[in-house]
Structure 1
Amino acid sequence: MPFGLGLTLGAGEDCFAACAVGAVLALLLRGGGVRAVGLICAVGAAVVARWLWPRRFLPAALAGGGALLVSAACFSPYLGLSGLWQSGADALLAGAIGWALRHSPPEKQGAGRLVLAAGVVCALGSIWLGPLSLGVVVCALVELVLCCRGRGAEALAGAAVCGAALCAADGQLAFAAAGLGCGTAAALLAPGDKLLCLAAYGGGCLTGALCVQPPGSAFAYLGAVGVSAGLFGLTPRRLLLRDVSLRHDPTEHAGRPQLSAAATRLGAVAESLSSLAETVNQVYDTLPHRCESFRWVIDNTHDTLCANCGRKEECWNKEYAVTLDGMQALKPILEEKEHVEVQDLPGQLARCIHPAALSGTVTRSFALYRSRQEARIHAEAMRSALTEQYGAVAQALSVLSDQIGTPGSPEPYKSGRVAAFFSSLGMPPLECAVTLDNLGRTRAAVTLPRARFSQAELSALAQEVGRICRRGLETPQKLTCKGITTLIFTERPLLRAVFGAAGTAARGDVSGDAVQQFCSPGAAQMILCDGMGTGRPAAVDGNLAAELTGRLLKAGFTAELAARLVNVALALKSEDESGATLDLISVDLYTGTARLFKAGAAPGFIVHGGKARAVGEPSLPVGVAGAVNGQSRVVHLAAGDLAVLVSDGLLVDGSGWVLKQLELAGASGDSPDKIARELVDTARARAENTGRPDDITAAVLRLEVY
């Protein structure tokens, strides 16, 4: 039977070898002649393939199935044509079992757990205790418990799969499989009541037994069901009447409810901050806005001066249109001179009996109008910055909530071994979790009381934890906060990043361009910010934008969220206009997927497969508008490819020469530092010829095989 080969193909990386040993021992103990020899060869081939190509299913399946078919062909004189067909069926079944276990691990509810249960039942079905089949006893007991708990889907699925496993173990148990199915269907009519559930199950099993031919075979089957009913009756009632809404044992994955609760609370905080920003904007939009037009100056002049004048009726009623035209004629004068003299009064207002008071009142009203207008603009800028900041933080918390809510598939065995290792060093961990993400990558997080580690010690820890987890791990990321140190170990990526950068200032030795290049866990980050203008003011904006963006990326923010927060910081930095371009590329070192984000930046360049191309379109820098007008793009890179970010000063003579020079540099295998320096030197020479000097910077990233 192919369960041994199937478990070898589908079990986890930490236990497939043990499954293979158990399968070989079972085949040796059970016997089976040349078929057993073929299965042993297939198990051995699958183990070798899994060692050579870890975490890959297809090579192991082809090796195991191929070895089984080759062995069957070699022993064809003994097996005959039917034996060859049976070996082919075994290979297909083993591949299906392994595939199901890979895509649905047994520790999670699903097809993998059913496959594992089928293997156990198949093994027990061949064990007879006198006239009783141990497999029938166990199946009946498990089905009774599931039916009493009201878990109908699990009970019916288990009855079908376990029935098929009993048939595979012994063809004489086919009637037992049918009877167990009938009993399960009947018992589901009385969930939660122990006696009624037992009576209904017994009635269904008896119905199945009446169909048995010859009838004498039914006595052994009914005896097995009777033993199961007795064990079921002895099971404590508190274990049978648990809440039917519980899909898992409360003690199973004890940390997961806490993670879920933390994720829910973070999500609630994110929604609150987001709704707060929306509420502030809505309230602002609905409030009446005063002092928004010059008409307020006219109204204030009327209320302050003209309302107490004896000629009010004549000026503001009989000759209202003429008076209003005269007041409107003062607007260009006030906007130009910010005050009105008596000689500046237009002809429409020549009849005023208080010309000096009128000019003074209009001047004061206009000054108040301008001050209130400036205050309103400032308040609106502060409100926009505040709500933008709330929105960005809310979105970041929402992303963090999603990450905490899906921590990955836990590996308790490895977690225990890693915790024991740190305890042996005299540092018992407060928490220790080893998990696998959706792509099968290992991640270990160890939380300790605050401790200091040198770089050499961190490297040694990575080697030892990697040996325990049977993975190559990177030097861990160390996070320290409030007396607690957390070490985050990530699996060594397939690629590594090599950085290079060069730059020159337009005048003097201060450049407005700033570059950040670093690797976060599993990703290479490269940032280039160009402050508006040249010299020290531009350098302040460029370095501030690059430094803030780098810190936010290291903290786990996405490029879009980092850009929004940097936009707020630059907008509120000072009363003077501040702005900087933001050019960012983040490369996943496991897959080579590169995400580019540009806000006002010059086009970047990608060299893939020896061909260079420009990437990016015009947009606004950060810090000059209330919202970020950035562009995101995804490209795929491989080992040997280049990613180049440049400031606009390098492209003063166009981008055609840059494409040619990058293709030549990529073909010759120049280092990133050399490529960046040659680009800057060439651009400087071209800029001197055109007479348009500017800050020039180039940042280069090359991907290499780790």
Structure 2
Amino acid sequence: MQYGLDVDTYKRIKNHKKVLNLGEEPIRYMSILLIGILISRVIFFLDSKNMSGIAPFGVAYLLAITIKNNEKNTLSAAIGAAIGYISISMTVNDKYGNLIAIIMLVLYSAVIKAMDKYAKEYYMYGVIAISYIINGFMVSGYDLGVNITISLINTLIVLPVYYVIRYGITCIEEFNTNYFFSIEEMISMGVIICLIISGIGELEILGISIRSVFAYTVILLIAYVGGATYGAAIGVAMGIIVGLSSGDIANSITFYSVAGLISGVFKDTGKIFTFLSYLIMYFTLSLYCHDLSMNSLIEVLISGGLLFVTPRILIDAISIEMNVDRKRGMVNETELTEIKEEFTDKVKLLETALLSVSRTLYVIGENDKLMYKNKSAALIENLADRVCPKCARCEKCWERDFNSTYKSFEKLIKSYENKKIIFPSELEKICLYKFELMKNTEIIVDNLNYKEILKARLGDGRQLLANHVENIASSMRDMLADFKERVTVCNEVERLIRRALNKNGIHYKKMFCYRDSSGRLKVKLRMQNCGGGNFCGKRILPIINDVVSEHVCIGGEGCKIDPISNECVVIFEESPKYHMVSYGAMTSKEGEDYTGDTFSFGKTKEGSYMTLISDGMGSGPEAGKESKVTVELVEDFIEAGFDKDTTVNMVNSIMAMKFEEDEKFSTLDLNLVDLYSGWISFIKIGAVASFVKSGKKVRAITSNMPPFGLVDKVEVEEVKQKVKNGDLIITISDGILDVSKESLGSYNWLMEYLEDASKNPKKLASDILDKAKELSGGVAKDDMTVVVSKVYAMY
């Protein structure tokens, strides 16, 4: 098939039932319209005796929508506000003024849309003022002075309401994002909800006020989710707005604010006790105010029922927005997931590139196996060019007797390739340069063989390199999978620590709590530099220890100071149960100035204690370089977070790509002690036995794995054992055991020696080295290295 052709493939058409899908836009327009109807119906009665008031909320709502410069949204809000104002026209002063303002704002929106410009607030203020002036002249018949005064008053009433509604709408648009709302922003959204509920008005079903039912339901829900602070705030706001609309502001504020306050106080007891607490308080207030009626009691009971049936998904969504700690945890989890995905994509690209390199090397290697078909002809031509041009018989041999001469040269070359040079009899009689011809035959055949050997070696090297590049790519894939699955955010722990630090007046910039790939808790804290006063250890560490159930300490790196911001970054982590101390002793082979062994020990970032010895094959500086490189590679990969299998295979691949004439390999004796659990893992790559001494009991740890570089992929054999307080771990190189020809590789003498040996790790390391030299006749027959580690329990 040709690439680049846009051909439609065959698709089977199935009969599906049609499903009505309104989409997001119609739902949004309907919501804007419905909110416009309800908000515009909110009336403020300025005089309880004269039940006629003002309704600036519809105009303010339309103004807040218009400023967003969306023509369809503006039209939906205008229609809704107009319907709302028409429905309350009998109870509002200047009933037509608001409708004229709506028409003028819609016309203004259409004009600036046609002019491809944006709406400006101060222009819209003028439009509203002009609308009220038109109403005063054409409808109310006011005098000029009175008309201007009333128009300005109406416009000034709209402005603060507009700012409140616009602020709330802007906050609602940030809902379900990474934005953190302040209390003021939450209250502004609550005000809009109160206006919507107040707009229901005096609608009743069987004497039950729909407005009261929804008002109590919203207050109880907010109080149950956000607590007493948010509950009391929404209750007061609801009481003021509904009270001014109904003409009974005192009772409204009392009952609604108490509903929010009491329900919020008891929110941790669950929905049932949250509602019962307010129901009891409602009885008390009603009896005190002489306002207890069956209808009002039913309204409260219905509200409680609606609270119980509120979907959990809605409660969680509101809770996330109102609870800063919970939302911060969700954001942290989202950010960590995004970081994981970004890191995963980068590593996958690198893995793909490595696999491409591997495939390319394979292809090149296959091409190198192709032989020249005209190799024989090229050799004969080369030989003839070297000798024949200066011969007087050249023309006769290569023109008149070409076939005979060609076959004679071919026999001569083949005889030398077979290691027995024979000069052809056909040339014996006529060739004037016999010796020179034989000498040049040797030269060109030797050159050819050398090139073929070199080419074959390079081909083998490319194949080997391709194999190990592929192994490295595979190891990276395994490491990536481990990283994605095992690092998690601890939102609840972070919330508790934040609360404790705030309670104790500890100021900090950022906090991040997570469990690493080993499942251990870590708390990363960024705060102002204390100038070396150990503030984190003296003040913060005790607080964190009181909050979390695990023993916590300051991470091994301590405080790190950012030189740019002068801020301190410190990581608190679970305290390990065990502590280890190691001592090493070594000597080089007799007559050598340099040892071929390298050892290292110490704590890793992941909370393990690593001890390793590498023995370079042979002795002296060359062997030392091999072992040093091995140790450094293993340390770097372990510190970078690679697991043991990945580390061993990547080091094996790297060590195999040396292409030296005299191949030299190295061993690895690695043990990792989990300082939290006490489990020790032994990994031996071509290494001799290690020993664990517990009391007088000694156990030998052995393996038959070959050294690095001998196989393409290492199947890691791991031996595990539990250690406890006082145990000794003895790691050695083969020079310690090879004390005589009869005991090569045997470790019986060392096991017997360890049973009654010193328990001091420093003294034991020296004693083992001295004993090995003594058994070797007082001289070191090979490089000797001993590392002794002792386990101590911290708690």
Q: Same fold (TM over 0.5)?
A: yes
CA shift for structure 1 position 641: 1.9
Query: Where does residue 633 of structure 2 map in the other structure?
Result: 548
Give secondary structure in 2 for the equivalent of 1:474.
Answer: strand
CA shift for structure 1 position 640: 2.1
Cα pair distance change 1:480/1:371, threshold 3 Å = farther
Give secondary structure in 2 for the equivalent of 1:411.
Answer: helix
Where does the alignment leave 5 or more consecutive residues of structure 2 unmatched? 1-215, 226-267, 280-293, 385-397
Equivalent runs, 1:584-663 vs 2, <5 Å: 584-608=670-694, 610-623=696-709, 625-628=711-714, 630-652=716-738, 653=743, 654-663=746-755
CA shift for structure 1 position 636: 1.5
CA shift for structure 1 position 303: 4.2
Q: Deviations over 1:169-203 (max 9, x none)?
A: 99xx9xxxxxxxxxxxxxxxxxxxxxxxxxxxxxx
Cα pair distance change 1:222/1:495, threshold 3 Å = same
Cα pair distance change 1:432/1:292, threshold 3 Å = same
CA shift for structure 1 position 537: 1.8
Q: d(CA) in 2 for partners of 1:361 and 1:439?
A: 64
Query: Where does residue 648 of structure 2 map in the other structure?
Result: 563
The answer to whether structure 1 residue 443 and structure 2 residue 525 are counterparts is: no
Query: Where does residue 198 of structure 1 map in the other structure?
Result: none
Where does the alignment leave 5 or more consecutive residues of structure 1 unmatched? 1-135, 146-161, 174-217, 334-339
Q: Deviations over 1:68-93 (max 9, x none)?
A: xxxxxxxxxxxxxxxxxxxxxxxxxx
Query: Where does residue 196 of structure 1 map in the other structure?
Result: none
Equivalent runs, 1:321-332 vs 2, <5 Å: 330-331=416-417
Query: Where does residue 454 of structure 2 map in the other structure?
Result: 371
The TM-score, its normalising length taken from structure 2, stands at 0.50
Give secondary structure in 1 for the equivalent of 2:667.
Answer: strand
Cα pair distance change 1:564/1:446, threshold 3 Å = farther
Q: Is the 8 A contact 2:333 2:489 kept in 1?
A: no
The answer to whether structure 1 residue 700 and structure 2 residue 700 are counterparts is: no
Q: d(CA) in 2 for partners of 1:349 and 1:251?
A: 95
Q: d(CA) in 2 for partners of 1:647 and 1:351?
A: 70
Give secondary structure in 1 for the equivalent of 2:552.
Answer: coil
Cα pair distance change 1:483/1:530, threshold 3 Å = farther
CA shift for structure 1 position 599: 1.1
CA shift for structure 1 position 230: 7.7
The answer to whether structure 1 residue 532 and structure 2 residue 607 are counterparts is: no
Cα pair distance change 1:269/1:401, threshold 3 Å = farther
Could you tell me which of 765, 784, 788 is aligned with 1:676?
765
Could you tell me which of 599, 612, 621 is aligned with 1:515?
599
Q: d(CA) in 2 for partners of 1:414 and 1:561?
A: 36
Q: d(CA) in 1 for partners of 2:673 and 2:587?
A: 26
Q: Is the 8 A contact 1:418 1:432 kept in 2?
A: no
Q: d(CA) in 2 for partners of 1:658 and 1:375?
A: 46
Cα pair distance change 1:280/1:406, threshold 3 Å = farther
CA shift for structure 1 position 376: 2.9
Q: For residue 305 of structure 1, what is the amino acid of its counterpart? A: I
Q: For residue 453 of structure 2, what is the amino acid of its counterpart? A: R
Query: Where does residue 303 of structure 2 map in the other structure?
Result: 227
CA shift for structure 1 position 467: 0.4
CA shift for structure 1 position 402: 3.5
Q: For residue 371 of structure 1, what is the amino acid of its counterpart? A: L
Could you tell me which of 331, 334, 354 is aligned with 1:257?
334
Cα pair distance change 1:346/1:416, threshold 3 Å = farther
Give secondary structure in 2 for the equivalent of 1:526.
Answer: strand
Equivalent runs, 1:347-362 vs 2, <5 Å: 361-362=444-445
CA shift for structure 1 position 257: 0.2
Cα pair distance change 1:329/1:404, threshold 3 Å = farther
The answer to whether structure 1 residue 466 and structure 2 residue 541 are counterparts is: yes
Q: d(CA) in 1 for partners of 2:609 and 2:328?
A: 39
Equivalent runs, 1:68-107 vs 2, <5 Å: none
Cα pair distance change 1:433/1:415, threshold 3 Å = farther
Q: Which of the two has higher C-alpha Rg?
A: 2
Once the two structures are overlaid, the 10-residue window that deviates more, 376-385 or 466-475, is 376-385
The TM-score, its normalising length taken from structure 1, stands at 0.56
Q: Is the 8 A contact 1:480 1:486 kept in 2?
A: yes
Cα pair distance change 1:505/1:241, threshold 3 Å = closer
Q: Is the 8 A contact 2:617 2:666 kept in 1?
A: yes
Q: For residue 536 of structure 2, what is the amino acid of its counterpart? A: L
Give secondary structure in 2 for the equivalent of 1:289.
Answer: helix
Cα pair distance change 1:477/1:434, threshold 3 Å = same
Equivalent runs, 1:375-524 vs 2, <5 Å: 375-384=458-467, 386-405=469-488, 410-415=493-498, 417=500, 424=507, 428-429=508-509, 431-435=510-514, 442-447=521-526, 461-470=536-545, 472-478=551-557, 486-507=569-590, 508-521=592-605, 522-524=607-609
% identical aligned pairs? 19
Cα pair distance change 1:222/1:306, threshold 3 Å = farther
Q: d(CA) in 1 for partners of 2:684 and 2:585?
A: 20
Q: d(CA) in 2 for partners of 1:379 and 1:268?
A: 28
Cα pair distance change 1:275/1:404, threshold 3 Å = same
Q: d(CA) in 1 for partners of 2:302 and 2:786?
A: 81
RMSD, aligned CA: 5.2
Give secondary structure in 1 for the equivalent of 2:537.
Answer: helix
Q: d(CA) in 2 for partners of 1:650 and 1:497?
A: 23
Q: d(CA) in 2 for partners of 1:655 and 1:539?
A: 24
Q: Is the 8 A contact 2:691 2:729 kept in 1?
A: yes
Q: Is the 8 A contact 1:445 1:488 kept in 2?
A: yes
CA shift for structure 1 position 681: 1.1
Cα pair distance change 1:359/1:543, threshold 3 Å = closer
Cα pair distance change 1:612/1:548, threshold 3 Å = same
Cα pair distance change 1:386/1:407, threshold 3 Å = farther
Q: Is the 8 A contact 1:596 1:632 kept in 2?
A: yes
Once the two structures are overlaid, the 10-residue window that deviates more, 410-419 or 253-262, is 410-419
Q: d(CA) in 1 for partners of 2:562 and 2:656?
A: 30
Q: Deviations over 1:194-218 (max 9, x none)?
A: xxxxxxxxxxxxxxxxxxxxxxxx9
Cα pair distance change 1:526/1:361, threshold 3 Å = closer
CA shift for structure 1 position 617: 1.2
Q: For residue 525 of structure 1, what is the amino acid of its counterpart? A: M
Cα pair distance change 1:598/1:439, threshold 3 Å = closer
Q: For residue 500 of structure 1, what is the amino acid of its counterpart? A: Y
Q: Is the 8 A contact 2:416 2:441 kept in 1?
A: no
Q: Is the 8 A contact 1:462 1:476 kept in 2?
A: no
Q: d(CA) in 1 for partners of 2:512 and 2:576?
A: 20
Q: d(CA) in 1 for partners of 2:678 and 2:651?
A: 27
Q: Is the 8 A contact 2:472 2:653 kept in 1?
A: yes
Cα pair distance change 1:657/1:348, threshold 3 Å = farther
Q: Deviations over 1:198-256 (max 9, x none)?
A: xxxxxxxxxxxxxxxxxxxx9999655522478899x9xx979989xx9x986652211
